[in-house]
Amino acid sequence: MEMREERYLTFALGKGRLASKTLELFEKIGITCEEMKDKSSRKLIFENREKKLRFFLAKGPDVPTYVEYGAADFGVVGRDTVLEENRNVYEVLDLGFGKCRMCVCGPESARELLQHHERIRVASKYPGIAKDYFYNKKHQTVDIIKLNGSVELGPLVGLSDVIVDIVETGSTLRENGLEVLEEICPLSARMIVNPVSMQMETERVKDLVNRLKEQIGA
Ligand code: PRP
């Protein structure tokens, strides 16, 4: 077979804490991206020329979009976003950090509304996950209201009966007199791969995933 030059593999990283954690992990397996550490930089794309890797930061919910269309070969984003966006991508690795839970939360008084399968109002940043949970798993008809943040306000100001949201330490709930009423699923950071990249670059993808796995296990 004719020798071909390795093409660049591109990573889309969800902005914020997950991205820093991801870069820390990559450093441990010898993949560095010095340029990206310069916080004052406004540059959007960074590369490691020696290893033929490129990185960019995107809004979390956009990461699966870049990966589905092949604009990025890989993505790192929370499982909440993978589930909500429901894109045509492969989930290949649980990176083990960013652990939290997707839950139905509300005041204690909402517990019986859930038990009796009442037609309640559910506020969430994750309408897709909320819908799947109530309609497909619980077979309960509810009204879902999409919010973009500070979702705990929903039950406090009378917008909704409950919320579907991420719980990490539980302190946001505690400080607002709310509690976990039902648990939907565990969450953590995931690595996703474009299906065509998976076919065309199988060896490089496998090699990278294996090295990360070893490092995570260590
Ligand atoms: C997330 C989540 C909860 C909170 C959970 O919100 O939506 O509100 O963190 O964390 P805890 O259990 O440790 O209190 P985030 O801070 O990301 O902001 P948002 O409300 O704008 O979504």
Q: Which residue's CA is the closest to the ligand 1 atom numbered 21?
A: 149
Say yes or no: domain 9-98+188-217 is CATH 1.10.3720.10. no
Pick the CATH number of 100-185 from 1.20.58.480, 3.40.190.10, 3.40.30.10, 3.20.20.70: 3.40.190.10
pLDDT digits (tens, 9 = 90+) for 6-63: 899 999 999 988 998 999 999 999 998 877 777 787 888 999 998 899 999 999 999 9
Q: What is the pLDDT of residue 3?
A: 59
Q: Which residue's CA is the closest to the ligand 1 atom numbered 10?
A: 168
Which atom of ligand 1 is found nearest the CA of 168? 12
- Expressed in angstroms and rounded, the spacing between residue 62 Cα and the centre of ligand 1 is 19
pLDDT at 4 over 80: no
Sign of CA dihedral 171, 172, 177, 179: negative
Domain ranges of the chain: 9-98+188-217, 100-185
Please check whether the two domains, 9-98+188-217 and 100-185, share a CATH topology. yes
CB 96 within 8 A of CB 204: no
Is the entire prediction scored with pTM above 0.85?
Answer: yes
Q: What is the pLDDT of residue 120?
A: 97
Q: What is the pLDDT of residue 202?
A: 93
Q: What is the pLDDT of residue 35?
A: 79
Q: What lines the ligand 1 site, CB under 6 Å?
A: 125, 149-152, 165-172
Pocket test for ligand 1, best of 81, 168, 179, 187 (most atoms within 8 A of CB): 168
Q: What is the pLDDT of residue 2?
A: 57
pLDDT digits (tens, 9 = 90+) for 136-182: 999 999 999 999 999 999 999 999 999 999 999 999 999 999 999 99
Burial 175-188 (b: 16+ CB within 10 A, else e): eeebbebbebeebb
Q: Which residue's CA is the closest to the ligand 1 atom numbered 7?
A: 166
pLDDT digits (tens, 9 = 90+) for 174-192: 999 999 999 999 999 999 9
pLDDT digits (tens, 9 = 90+) for 69-113: 999 999 999 999 999 999 999 999 999 999 999 999 999 999 999
Indicate the SS3 state at residue 43: coil
Residue 194's contacts (CB-CB under 8 Å, 6 or more residues apart) are: 67, 68, 69, 70, 72, 73, 74, 89, 90
Which atom of ligand 1 is found nearest the CA of 150? 20
- Expressed in angstroms and rounded, the spacing between residue 58 Cα and the centre of ligand 1 is 19
